[in-house]
Chains A and B, each alone.
Chain A
């Protein structure tokens, strides 16, 4: 009986059921709370799965290997990000140059600040490489961090903290600075805090949301091209 229980816990079926089950539960809670950022399903489903694995004494590596179907879907999901990018770009054809300039300056600033602070905080090389892409959406930052030899897990965590910080502190900061232009608020939220910031921008107004989607998409594209060049040059 014990052996059977062990077999179940080490199975793909167990890993997938637990992951999807907790995610659906956490997501239902999130939707009920009208998408409160602190109830983001990724935070609570991951915590619940981790607690369960620890409680049942399941090896994380074993669990992770069993979820490779989910990991496989990351590839096509990343490719699919071309669709929102295309939809947003079509809207603003006539102010393309200004937004591209804003993206290059803003994304470089946000990345330099993060890496600079991590460096001051005595981060080791693996952590540093995982923090470089923290300002872009998780599929891109995860892929970049792993590619550089950093940790996809640390990258995903950094992206999450970055998203939540932007969602919670973005609007009060804009108020403090006297920024009232909805386009600037949206673009900043999307650029700095990617998809999570974008959902918050849609709460401000549809204009802010559209510009956040655009800021997120352009930043992802710029970082994906520029960062590998920078990392090769640095190391």
Chain B
């Protein structure tokens, strides 16, 4: 069951890579695969047990998959010297400003609380 779900995920990743080649765009193959699976789920109207079983552990342990990449921060070396100020400005200060502006904007444009949204 788990294996079948995993194979379905890989199939959609392949379809995503094909679509990327076909369209010749910069959107990554797995991201296109995500959209294709999303459309498939809408058409199907439900999530099969196999896909659910394969996806849950992947999503729950997503952080693990980024450990090797994140370790690289300690090995950025000379290439990244002089970039830290810009990095922190964008990542930290930028996020503070974004929280304020996005919060205020969303309060203005968000649909009124009229139905059972929970």
Q: Which residues of A line the B interface, CB within 8 A?
A: 15, 19-20, 22-23, 27, 40-42, 45-47, 49-51, 53-54, 60, 63-64, 67, 70-71, 73-87, 91-92, 94-95, 97-99, 101-102, 105-106, 109-110, 113-115, 117-124, 126-127, 131, 134-135, 138-140, 142-144, 146-148, 152-154, 156-158, 160-162, 165-166, 169-170, 173-174, 177, 179, 181, 183-185, 187-188, 191-193, 195, 206-207, 210-211, 221, 224-225, 228, 231-232
Contacts of B5-26 to chain A: CB distance below 8 A:
6, 9-10, 12-13, 16, 25-26
Query: Given contacts A158-B91, A183-B110, could you give 10 more A-B pairs where the C-beta distance is less than 8 Å?
Result: A15-B68, A105-B105, A127-B83, A134-B90, A138-B66, A139-B62, A139-B65, A188-B102, A228-B25, A228-B26
- A156–B68 Cα gap in the complex (Å)? 11
Query: Which chain B residues lie closer than 8 Å to A188 at the CB level?
Result: 99, 102-103, 106
Given A73-B65, A118-B90, A225-B27 contact (CB < 8 Å) = yes
Report the tally of A-B residue pairs with Cβ distances under 8 A: 316
CB distance from A187 to the nearest CB of B (A): 6
Q: Are B71 and A60 in contact (CB under 8 A)?
A: yes
- A220–B43 Cα gap in the complex (Å)? 21
Q: Does B59 contact A (CB under 8 A)?
A: yes
- A46–B70 Cα gap in the complex (Å)? 6
Q: Are B71 and A177 in contact (CB under 8 A)?
A: no
Q: Mark B78-118, 1 if CB is under 8 A from A, else 0.
A: 01101101111111111111111111111101110101011
Q: Are A143 and B28 in contact (CB under 8 A)?
A: yes
CB distance from B97 to the nearest CB of A (A): 5
Query: Which chain A residues lie closer than 8 Å to B102 at the CB level?
Result: 106, 109-110, 188, 191-192
Closest chain A residue to B44, Cβ basis: A86
* Interface size range on B against A: 35 or more
In-complex Cβ contact of A64 among B33, B65, B72, B109 (8 A):
B72
Closest chain B residue to A47, Cβ basis: B74
Query: SS class of chain B's interface: helix, strand, loop or mixed?
Result: helix
Q: Are A165 and B96 in contact (CB under 8 A)?
A: yes
Q: Are A135 and B98 in contact (CB under 8 A)?
A: yes
- A163–B35 Cα gap in the complex (Å)? 24
Closest chain B residue to A180, Cβ basis: B107
Q: Are A63 and B68 in contact (CB under 8 A)?
A: yes
Q: Which residues of B line the A interface, CB within 8 A?
A: 6, 9-10, 12-13, 16, 25-31, 33-35, 37-38, 41-42, 47, 51-52, 54-55, 58-59, 62-76, 79-80, 82-83, 85-107, 109-111, 113, 115, 117-118
- A54–B73 Cα gap in the complex (Å)? 13
- A139–B33 Cα gap in the complex (Å)? 13
Q: Are A181 and B110 in contact (CB under 8 A)?
A: yes
CB distance from A11 to the nearest CB of B (A): 15
Query: Which chain B residues lie closer than 8 Å to A183 at the CB level?
Result: 110, 113, 117
CB distance from B45 to the nearest CB of A (A): 9
- A99–B63 Cα gap in the complex (Å)? 27
Q: Are B118 and A207 in contact (CB under 8 A)?
A: yes
- A80–B104 Cα gap in the complex (Å)? 32
- A91–B9 Cα gap in the complex (Å)? 24
